[in-house]
Structure 1
Amino acid sequence: MTMPAVELTLSKKTLWDWPVRICHWSIVLLVAACWWTAENHEIVYHSYCAYALLGVVLFRVYWGFFGSSSARVSHFLQTPAATFQYFKKLTQRDVPPSAGHNPLGGYSALALLFLLLLQIGLGLFSIDVDGFDGGPFADYLSFKTSRLIADWHEITFNILLGFIALHLLAVIYYLLWRRQNLTAAMVHGKAHIAEPIQAASRMHLIIGIVFAATLVWLIM
């Protein structure tokens, strides 16, 4: 695939640090695992996968404030006006790659994280039709309420699938039209950008892991 003209003048530099990449691919695998275990009524394993997913998402939220520069919300969340201006340029081909999420991608990333947290949160209060297996907080609600939340849990997952499909379409669009391989950048962490990212400290990484693990442990 021919490299865009705008990338010929840019060298490959680190765009995504390894915590971001691990979070990204862990979310992909754990969402698939949660779906498979739910479809096959493996509720115990479904819970394990959901707790693991919660830990990853909580860490990613934390990393959005204390992580590397490209991972931070303050870096990629732009004003609605700037996002609209970017939207009007979607048909253009030779556009310099963003040093992180582009304006539309930033809002999409936040929407996905919100939906994941909502999905997991609803699962904590849900219960199955037999009333035997449920989330850790289902006992605090009536069976009827927990079953209603279980319905919302399923609806939210379908909405989440829609956003995931939209995300995949965007990746394909950037690959075929903009000739920017976003998937490869999320694997090896490098892209043709002007300046490398500013890495976060190891202490911030340790605090984030402890923060996410502690919250999950308290919820279980």
Structure 2
Amino acid sequence: MTTRPARVMVWDGAIRLVHWLMVALVPLLWWTAEEGHMDWHKSFGLTMFGLVLFRLIWGLIGTWTARFAPMVRRIGSLNLYIKSLRSRNTGATFGHSPLAVLSVFALLLVLTAQVTTGLFSVDIDGLESGPLAVLISFETGRQFAAVHELNFNLLLALIGLHITAIAIYSFVLKDRLVEPMVTGHRSRADFPTSDLPENRLRWLPVIAAAALALACVIGISNFG
């Protein structure tokens, strides 16, 4: 008889590392832009671009809880999940809940827009610009810069909602979400079913996704 492990991996090491690096980079990007440290801002921005690109690739070839396809299927149970929230009878979700799926997609969409517009942005004096701004006119670069600034406010709003939701889950629903994003694991007893998806981390996809993201970052950084 095989004994099941007491804990199961929910979030692989790659997705956890990317998550916390993004958390650290957002305030650094804001501070460097506000203080005019544009060389650092560009470096941090390219790093964020690489992380976002890795996450998008990992959503296609990564572990089960990282992939987009299972997340999309969960949206279909959104109404049932909201009803369970009202009764405070949600239980733990293996991976993202239907509401969390919407949050993840919204954050990734806004982050993608943020790093993309940053690549093409030009400042009002034309002295500072993204590495791909040479491909467009000054006027278009200024438009990208305006969207870049406006989109950051949207990103802050989504981050605020995300933090609020985590607080509600932690203190109202008694479902600790931060710890698994640190350790990667949860107790198997948290899940009502024993039939959990296979979620093992494989190194070849990690290396391939990281190599592709790094190659794109290096290519863009050397473009200008």
| TM-score normalised to structure 2 length | 0.89
Question: What is residue 26 of structure 2 aligned with on the other side?
Answer: 31
Assess, with a 3 A threshold, how the Cα gap between structure 1 residues 176 and 73 changes in structure 2: closer, same or farther.
same
Q: Give % identity.
A: 35
Q: Which amino acid aligns with 1:167?
A: H
Q: Which moved more, 1:108-117 or 1:90-99?
A: 90-99
What is the CA–CA distance in structure 2 between the aligned matches of 1:14 and 1:66, rounded to whole Å? 17
* Match in the other structure for 1:214: 215
Amino acid at match of 1:59: F
> What corresponds to 2:169 in structure 1?
174
Q: Deviations over 1:60-112 (max 9, x none)?
A: 11111111111111222236541122122222223220000001101210111
Q: Measured at CA, do residues 196 and 45 of structure 1 come closer, stay the same or move farther in structure 2, by a change above 3 Å?
A: same
1:64 maps to 2:59? yes
Helix, strand or coil for the counterpart of 1:90?
helix
Asked whether the 8 Å contact 1:70–1:197 carries over to 2, the reply is no
Separation in structure 2 between the aligned mates of residue 48 and residue 185 of structure 1, nearest angstrom: 30
- Aligned alpha-carbon RMSD (Å): 1.7
Q: Hey, what's the Cα distance between the residues in 2 that align with 1:44 and 1:165?
A: 28
Which aligned runs of 4 or more in structure 1 are off by greater than 4 angstroms? none
Give the corresponding residue for 2:39.
44
Task: Check if 1:202 corresponds to 2:203.
Answer: yes
Corresponding position of 1:95: 90
In structure 2, stretches of 5+ residues that fail to align are none
Distance 1:70 1:80 in 2: 14
Q: Give TM-score, length-normalised by structure 1.
A: 0.90
Distance 1:185 1:200 in 2: 16
Aligned residues: 211
Change (3 A) 1:119 1:24: same
SS at match of 2:128: coil
Displacement of 1:139 after TM fit?
A: 2.3
8 Å Cα contact 2:25/2:44 also seen in 1: yes
Matched ranges for 1:109-120 at <5 A: 109-120=104-115
* Distance in 2 between residues matched to 1:108 and 1:131, nearest whole Å: 35
The structural deviation recorded for 1:187 is 0.6
SS state of the match for residue 191, structure 1? Answer: strand
Report the CA distance shift for 1:79/1:20 in structure 2 as closer, same or farther (over 3 A).
closer
Is residue 67–residue 199 contact of structure 1 (8 Å, CA) maintained in 2? no
* Corresponding letter in the other structure for 2:24: L
Q: C-alpha offsets along residues 171-199 of structure 1, whole Å, 9 cap, x if unaligned? A: 00100111111111101111234447521
Contact persistence 2:61–2:205 (CA under 8 A)? yes
Give deviations 1:121-141, integer Å, cap 9, x for gaps: 001111112111101122232
2 CA distance for matches of 1:79 and 1:93?
19
| Alpha-carbon distance change, 69 to 79 in structure 1, aligned in 2, over 3 angstroms | closer
> Which ranges of structure 1 fall in alignment gaps of 5 or more residues?
1-9
Structure 2 residue matching 1:26: 3-state secondary structure = helix
Matched to 2:202, the amino acid is S
Give secondary structure in 2 for the equivalent of 1:111.
helix
